[in-house]
Structure 1
Amino acid sequence: MKAMGLSPQTVERVSRLWGKSAARNGGRTHLLLGHLLDTAAVAGVMWDRYLSAAFRRRLDEVSGGRGRLWFMWVCGIHDCGKACPAFQAMDAAEAAPVLAAGLRWGRLPTDRRKMWRHDVAGAALLKPRLVAEWGSDEAAGWVWPLVAGHHGVFPSVRGIEPPHREVQGRGAAWDEVQRAVVDVFTRVVGFEDMADVRPVGALRKAEQLALSGLIVMADWIASDSRQFLGLAEADLVSFDGSRRRAEVAWDRLGLRGGWRDLPLPRDRLEPLTGRLGVTPRASQRELLERAWSMPVPGLLIAEAPMGEGKTKAALATAECLAARFGFDGVFVAMPTQATSDPMYEQVLQWVRTFDPELESQVALLHGRRRFNAWWRAIWEGGPRPDGAADGCGCEDGGTDPAGAYDDFGAIDEDADNGMQCTEARAGAGSLPGADGPAHWFLGNKRGLLTAFAVGTVDHLLHAATRTRHVMLRFAGLAGKVVVVDEVHAADIYMRQFLVEALRWLGQAGVPVVLLSATLPPAQRQLFVDAYLSGVQGAADVHQLVPEPAGYPCVTVAYGVGGRAVAETSREAVPSWRESAPVKLSWLPDTGTDGKRVAEAVRDAVADGGVVLVVVNQVARAQAIYDELRGRGCDGELHLLHARLCAAHRADRTAKCLRLMGPLAGENRPRHMVVIATQLAEQSFDVDADVLITDLAPTDLLLQRIGRLHRHSGTRRPDAHRAPRVVVTGVAGGRDGVPRFLGASEAIYGRWSLLRAAALVTEAAGQLPIAGAQDLLPGEGGVWSIPADVPGLVARAYGSDEICPAGWHEAEAWEQWQAKEAKREEKATEFLLCRQREWASPTLEGLHYAGSRVPATEEQLDALVRDGDPTVEAVIVRRAPGGYRAYDGTWLGVHGEVDDDEVTDRLMGGTIRLPAKLTAAAQAELRPLPGWADRPWLQYQLALVLEEEDGTTPLGKHRVSYDDVLGLVEHQ
């Protein structure tokens, strides 16, 4: 510092500024300059071993070829605002040497509204210097928010005005010290002075958001006191020392990137034929060829029938896009937790073909991942499933540390950092070696930062919400190829967040692959316009998508030379299997006793066969099962729905896949019935001979039909050589207007059900009146599947009236539109960016109304899923002298759990309660006293079933748990 011409007094003062207090840093003070250099050094390691080539290239472009140096500087400078009285006065012991060096402050405010946070203090300190020394408001305008937002919220420019000068530092001494901190750090990192740091260009706003997340990542790693011991003496601080510390910390944490400059495949089809070992179907070839032909990263939408192999084609496409454009990993977004598990195992197998060690970089992102055998084997050191030695046979948890302060209060010194994850504490230990998985990524909000991730689509949608640390989630997406399966499953509320995410991904130049079998044309257009809005940096881009030549088809959208491009398959692409007539017939029934459906099941399975029943209500599924069990049914009988505990649901899902899946072979039973709710609707790779289904909107009805005669080569009884669908859950009224199950209408709305009923009527004939005909379904007519799929979906969601006169379709439409408009408006409250501000060039004011800070994972999910909130509870049975788990495992007098094995058994009883029980559960249920010191259990609600009758009151209801039926509500 003396070499820079600083006075001895200034050198002494800078040397006393603290960045981490001993009280919160493992008992060792860490000087401010030491932390800034540590963070810059971590950034250097991230550049070398983590950042995607695509993002490195962009940073090189905006910094005049000095991307690595500039990245280290912008990461390290983040905490310069700690050089102010408001921060230095926060700890009396640490403040004493600062005061002794001659830096003074007067009375600081105690009103939380006037307290001064070091993130905004840094922006207030840095902004005028950047403007003055860079000579450009524009250059400074996108950089200072990166400093202001490093604790998760981007304030407006007015938000960085200190309430009064005292908190920021008044007088020449503070001005000189603050200037010196920035100058010393800048010189030590490698720039000549602040003017030398000036970028030659600007990142786009979405790229700024990703960069902000990477700054947070570097800060959090450098704030881990176990890796970076505090340095309280200035002569111990050096950049060489910080670089050594950063390399050691990175290795000890087991951190790494993904592919790291993935080479181009040897030929265009090699990602399919070699990597995945498949003989390419025409639709798979088409998707991969379009990925090869795109001149820049863009959006691809693959529409193909169920069972066509879209997922494998998407993985091959991801490899192509990553190799061509420099991306380092993949995120695969699935509609549900249940569909995420098999996809995780598939991605594990695929990733291992690149490098077996990469399997430890594949994260499964949902709240029940602990029950996935492969997750446990890889991330927690458990035995591999089925005794496998290696290979694969096939978020964030805890409380939010950011809740330690509100949006406008004082930041408790780095309260967001050092967030040890629950799983790391409970599993393989806090410091895994470099040869194992990086448990650091399991911490709160970090899951998407892993190189490869599979999880629910919620994680993608969370990155489009105005929540604290949204930049960390977006940074995890920006270096990856993003694949969204079953994209049609997003309802209008969720779709707002998906559209918002596509805008930001488009602006960041992130390649996205959307997959669907039943995508309405209007949604295809919406997704293309959203992505191109990001590419063009405007909110109202509309690039007409040409009508596809056929089905399957691929749509591509990208921007090149300032021009937006949207194209579809130029020629018809044949499906892998020819279309076949699927016979449809009606079984009018809106009852809840299950008798009529059960009788139809018995008739269907009498001469052999596998029957899948999909209904829209758990109670209806339970009633049908009870009726079949009570009066007899040939063959195996299975019940699958969302009110099963985690262990039972996982076991039954696995068994159904084993007996009805693509590898069933000789294991396929001669007689089998599966009764399920919407869990079996999509991403459930089973093959049924007969489908009996409640009426649902047309696209979802077609998804259910996709489980029918799905696998080639499956042996079937003669009676089921032709696929057959029986549609129930609806009956004709005396006036000819359909009557629907109350649950169906509550879930889907009347308009979409009327449209679906009209289309089925065209094939199956007039909807009979319940009780006015024979018990069993009639002959009906046919749909040609998959040829009819796009036309049926287009008509179902088109503007032409298709219902018979007298069905009051127009009235239902108006009601549906009004409800959808309210849901759409509700979502805008939580979107990351207001539409009118989308074209703004910087992140300034992004959190214009503060941040949404959900206290729990359920509350975060509630932001992106419109519906009544639900909670999970763990089933516990009261026993003499204590408690037992759902399976009878003894827990102890107060519910004590002795080891991880017992914890696993207990957590297998986790169940999601119906929404109508949420309020009662939150008010009445608590964790058991014996769970207080168990990380996985300390916040879990216990649903204690009484010893006498196995029930418990919950609000106005009484519930029990049956090992077969699942959660049962009693009147």
Structure 2
Amino acid sequence: MPDLRAFWGKAGKSNTPHPLLCHALDTAAVAELLYPLMLGPRCREELEAAFKGLGDPVAWVAVLCGLHDLGKCSPAFQGLRADLALDLLGDHAAEDIRRLSRFKDVGRTDTPHGLLTAVHMDRLLKRWGASWEAAHAIAWVLGGHHGTIPYDDEVREARAAVGHHGGQKWADWCDALVDELCRLRGLPNPASLPWNEVRLGLVGSIGLAGLTSVSDWIASARCEDKYAGAGVDLESYAAETKKVAQDAVDRREWSPWKPPADTRFQTLFPDVEPRPVQVAVEKVTSGKSRPGLLIVEAPTGEGKTKVALQAAATFVRQLGLAGFYFGLPTRATANQIFTESAEFLAGQPDPLRVRLLHGAADEYLVGQEPKAEEERRKKDLQPCNVDSDGEGDGDAAAREWFTLKRALLASVGVGTWDQALMAAIRAPHVFVRMAALSNKVVILDEVHAYDRYMSTLLDRLLWWLGRFEVPVILLSATLPEHRRSKLVQCWRAGALRLRPEQVSTPLTAPGYPRVTWADREGDEVTLVEELVEVGVSELNANRVVRLIRLGDDDVVSWVLEQIDAGGCAAIIHNLKSRVHETYEKLEKAVEQLPEDERPELIWITGEMETADRQKVEKRLREAFGKNGTRPKRAVVVGTQVLEQSLDLDFDVMVSDLAPVDSMVQRMGRLHRHRKREETPVLAITGVGEKAAGPTFPPYTLSVYLRSTLTRTWALLRERSEIRSPDEVAELVDAVYDPKDLIVCPEGWEEAWQDNEDRRNLALEGMEYKARIVYLPQPSDDQSLRRLTERSKGARHTRSRSGKR
């Protein structure tokens, strides 16, 4: 038997190795600390139920995480640094290692250590008495710690590769390593314990998989010049690992959020007079002891963001969670809510740092606080030598989770929808995403704007979040009745371990605005649902927006006429090319005006360079945001970013025809922060009409489905006004309800039916594409391998067309 310190676990370019046993101790210590921070109540409940017969279940979970690299005790892995291994292991292993020496410029000839971990853990667990199911689940989870759960065939082939794993001799050495790890961690010999009682469920397995990977990454942040070396005193090292692990975890600033005992709205926002929807949500969520799904539908300006923060504080406090993830439709909205969330948490008794998560987050943060962000970056975790045999994602990808993706692991994060939807896609490390969400409240805003592709992913995500019993808050301007029912059914199906079609249809919603709450009662298949019709604030009460129709050639002159005596106008186009075209026309027209009558002109699209867009957004907030200093005259021309991304207020608006829910959302930017005496006007452009039906500007149908625009125009073409909130739900249901609630205008019949047929095909195509990439249904009898098989990459969160 060689000295157990002789097996190297990490080496890199250093001639001082970090023993495999030391890395196992590092990882176990980190896992024990992360366990209550990262894993949600349902994950912990399943893991503790699985391992309680062994003694301290958390200690055993930590040791299993530490055993993720057991396959490195093999000729295949040790031979990667044959110089070290031959020197440390000597004659014991020389022949085995030399036989597997690599050759340059050839494909890999060894077996990855993750597969060998699965081989050894499966063998050990069965020897200890574990059932086939328990041994398979644990061994395959640990073997997949580099992101992909192995196939059964892969493990069988690895088992047959005796020269790679070393046969019985190396198996005995693996067993000795395991026994020594248990001893150093203060646990009894595993062979003496009732492993036959271990039953690991789906949620517990995914929690163990996520915890293992993240613990490995943090434990791998040890610098090469601090590797312990083969002469390390194991007793002293084991005693020090808890302190070292605590320091590493503390650097992440992952402390759980601790809201005050009183999470009533006025306590959290003492300077804000509660609006009706805020009062209703506080009443619905108060005293809830079980997770559930909360859907809030209300017009813009009713304070849905504060509603979400107050409800999240209540759930975190009452359910013992770590924090929340707030998902927004765009980077701009994410930046805005990031700032609002940061200010909210800074005012709490226990302030907590908020993390921002999207593709340009670093650029935004550097632009906001360059010095502070530079200091934070210095603290970023740098895992190294994570993947010495090229099996998985490598050091760069591991580091990504502590830089670009850190907001998902941190207690409180704000980012785009995509980061949450990625948890519903088969991809490497999807179990890390799911585990990271398991201890949070998941908040998703503007869910009415999801196309069929994203809606299909959202449904699957809700099914899984229900299975994990994660509370979810969905915010929307309004939702069609059938869509709201589907969302409720999917979350419930997960909580009840059923299929969505097996779940009872939710109650028919009353008027609008409304709040929907759904959960399950205890362990019984008893569903609790509340539907509350709420009022609106004075700002949105009896709100009337006058509609007029405007030709494209008249937009510029009409807008300048409207603000001639003073005022601020917005022009929203569906295409960036139309934005630039209108802006150029405005510039030419404004040049003809006297200098003191010229309005300020601003344009914005989603494709602007990050730095330029930040400057424009800042100017827009200063001029048209809440409490902004409004210019005497101004015209803002932009794409849908003005609809979704910025909390702005205008006197008059021109909008291209868009789906009815988008039109309602755009209307919300009129007289948003203060009510005026005059009736706001929305001029609809970007639509023509022939005897056979409406026509739209070129390329518009690359953004929206013709059928959706046609149905919307059929509904609005003869209207002179829209009353909000009274008519909003009726209008949205009319356009999107599968039942035909709109009368086809005379002469449009042929085109109408053709549009409907094309729409159905397009929606079926988007749904099919989502089904190709999304996770299988949450089921206890499925193989974990299905979570990562045929991985499509986690970035497939939006369809290319995004049409609605």
Q: Same fold (TM over 0.5)?
A: yes
Aligned to 1:529: 489
Shift of 1:459: 0.7
Shift of 1:574: 4.4
Cα 1:294–1:27 change in 2 (3 A) is: same
Question: Counterpart of 1:209 in 2: which secondary structure?
Answer: helix
Shift of 1:378: 3.9
1:340 matched to 2:334? The reply is yes
1:587 matched to 2:550? The reply is yes
1:746 matched to 2:699? The reply is no
Cα 1:731–1:516 change in 2 (3 A) is: same
Bigger helix share: 2
Residue by residue over 1:460-495, the C-alpha shift from the partner in whole angstroms, topping out at 9 and shown as x without a partner, is 112222111222222321221111111122211122
Aligned to 2:498: 538
Specify which of 218, 222, 226 is matched with residue 225 of structure 1. Answer: 222
Residue by residue over 1:893-933, the C-alpha shift from the partner in whole angstroms, topping out at 9 and shown as x without a partner, is xxxxxxxxxxxxxxxxxxxxxxxxxxxxxxxxxxxxxxxxx
Shift of 1:121: 0.9
Shift of 1:180: 1.5
Aligned to 2:761: 818
Q: Distance in 1 between matches of 2:37 and 2:760?
A: 50
1:152 matched to 2:142? The reply is no
Aligned to 1:314: 308
Q: Distance in 2 between matches of 1:683 and 1:246?
A: 44
Shift of 1:413: 7.4
1:366 matched to 2:344? The reply is no
Q: Distance in 1 between matches of 2:204 and 2:130?
A: 23
Q: Distance in 1 between matches of 2:391 and 2:605?
A: 46
Aligned to 2:394: 416
Specify which of 28, 36, 40 is matched with residue 24 of structure 2. Answer: 36
Q: Distance in 1 between matches of 2:724 and 2:605?
A: 27
1:654 matched to 2:618? The reply is yes
Residue by residue over 1:825-871, the C-alpha shift from the partner in whole angstroms, topping out at 9 and shown as x without a partner, is 112222132x4xx3244653225644345xxxxxx53x1111179xx
Shift of 1:755: 0.8
Aligned to 1:115: 110
Aligned to 2:577: 619
Contact 2:427 2:788 (8 Å CA) reproduced: no
Aligned to 1:563: 525
635-644 vs 448-457, which moves further: 635-644
309-318 vs 532-541, which moves further: 532-541
Shift of 1:824: 1.4
Q: Distance in 2 between matches of 1:339 and 1:291?
A: 25
**What amino acid is the match of 1:659?**
A
Contact 1:543 1:564 (8 Å CA) reproduced: no
Q: Distance in 1 between matches of 2:35 and 2:615?
A: 43
Residue by residue over 1:209-256, the C-alpha shift from the partner in whole angstroms, topping out at 9 and shown as x without a partner, is 233122111111111232882223255223x52452452354367435
Contact 1:446 1:473 (8 Å CA) reproduced: no
Q: Distance in 1 between matches of 2:204 and 2:342?
A: 29
Aligned to 1:602: 560
Contact 2:287 2:318 (8 Å CA) reproduced: no
339-348 vs 472-481, which moves further: 472-481
168-177 vs 105-114, which moves further: 105-114
Q: Distance in 2 between matches of 1:496 and 1:474?
A: 17
> How many percent of aligned residue pairs carry the same amino acid?
30
Q: Distance in 2 between matches of 1:459 and 1:475?
A: 13
**What amino acid is the match of 2:317?**
A
**What amino acid is the match of 1:265?**
A
Q: Distance in 2 between matches of 1:227 and 1:279?
A: 56
Aligned to 1:894: none
Q: What are the within-5 Å matches in structure 2 for residues 232-311 of structure 1?
A: 232-238=229-235, 240-248=236-244, 250-251=246-247, 254-256=250-252, 258=254, 260=256, 262=258, 265-266=261-262, 269=264, 271-275=265-269, 277-311=271-305
How many matched pairs? Answer: 776
* Higher RCO, 1 vs 2 (CA within 8 Å, ≥6 residues apart): 2
1:73 matched to 2:34? The reply is no
Residue by residue over 1:286-327, the C-alpha shift from the partner in whole angstroms, topping out at 9 and shown as x without a partner, is 222222243411111111111110110100100100011111
Specify which of 519, 540, 549 is matched with residue 510 of structure 2. Answer: 549
Shift of 1:524: 1.4
701-710 vs 61-70, which moves further: 61-70
Cα 1:53–1:247 change in 2 (3 A) is: farther
Q: Distance in 1 between matches of 2:381 and 2:165?
A: 39
Cα 1:141–1:298 change in 2 (3 A) is: farther
Aligned to 1:83: 73
Q: Distance in 2 between matches of 1:227 and 1:344?
A: 36
Contact 1:555 1:566 (8 Å CA) reproduced: no
Shift of 1:77: 1.2
1:124 matched to 2:116? The reply is no
**What amino acid is the match of 2:509?**
P
Contact 2:110 2:164 (8 Å CA) reproduced: no
Aligned to 1:788: 727
Contact 1:258 1:329 (8 Å CA) reproduced: no
Residue by residue over 1:65-122, the C-alpha shift from the partner in whole angstroms, topping out at 9 and shown as x without a partner, is 7243123112111111111222122221122146524134274497857631111211
Question: Counterpart of 1:686 in 2: which secondary structure?
Answer: coil
1:497 matched to 2:457? The reply is yes
Residue by residue over 1:341-394, the C-alpha shift from the partner in whole angstroms, topping out at 9 and shown as x without a partner, is 1111001011112256523x5334332432344454543259xxxxxxxxxxxx
Aligned to 2:746: 805
Q: Distance in 1 between matches of 2:559 and 2:788?
A: 57
Q: Distance in 2 between matches of 1:682 and 1:230?
A: 50
Cα 1:154–1:504 change in 2 (3 A) is: same
Shift of 1:184: 1.9
**What amino acid is the match of 1:603?**
E
Shift of 1:416: 2.6
**What amino acid is the match of 1:83?**
C
Specify which of 716, 723, 748 is matched with residue 760 of structure 1. Answer: 716
Question: Counterpart of 1:287 in 2: which secondary structure?
Answer: helix
Q: What are the within-5 Å matches in structure 2 for residues 893-932 of structure 1?
A: none
Aligned to 1:885: none
Contact 1:468 1:851 (8 Å CA) reproduced: yes
1:845 matched to 2:772? The reply is no
Aligned to 1:189: 185
Question: Counterpart of 2:308 in 1: which secondary structure?
Answer: helix
Q: Distance in 1 between matches of 2:755 and 2:495?
A: 38
Question: Counterpart of 1:481 in 2: which secondary structure?
Answer: strand
1:710 matched to 2:672? The reply is yes
Question: Counterpart of 1:846 in 2: which secondary structure?
Answer: helix
Aligned to 1:386: none
Aligned to 1:639: 603
127-136 vs 690-699, which moves further: 127-136
Shift of 1:411: 3.5
Root-mean-square deviation (CA), in Å?
Answer: 3.1
Q: Distance in 1 between matches of 2:485 and 2:136?
A: 34
Shift of 1:330: 1.2
1:457 matched to 2:447? The reply is no
Aligned to 1:162: 157
Q: Distance in 2 between matches of 1:514 and 1:455?
A: 15
Q: Distance in 1 between matches of 2:278 and 2:119?
A: 53
Aligned to 1:964: none
Q: Distance in 2 between matches of 1:659 and 1:867?
A: 34
**What amino acid is the match of 1:827?**
A
Specify which of 679, 682, 700 is matched with residue 644 of structure 2. Answer: 682
Q: Distance in 1 between matches of 2:279 and 2:427?
A: 40
Question: Counterpart of 1:748 in 2: which secondary structure?
Answer: coil
Residue by residue over 1:933-970, the C-alpha shift from the partner in whole angstroms, topping out at 9 and shown as x without a partner, is xxxxxxxxxxxxxxxxxxxxxxxxxxxxxxxxxxxxxx
Q: Distance in 1 between matches of 2:201 and 2:347?
A: 35
Contact 1:685 1:707 (8 Å CA) reproduced: yes
Question: Counterpart of 1:162 in 2: which secondary structure?
Answer: helix
Q: Distance in 1 between matches of 2:31 and 2:308?
A: 32
558-567 vs 32-41, which moves further: 558-567
Contact 1:458 1:864 (8 Å CA) reproduced: yes
Aligned to 1:922: none
Q: Distance in 2 between matches of 1:441 and 1:317?
A: 28
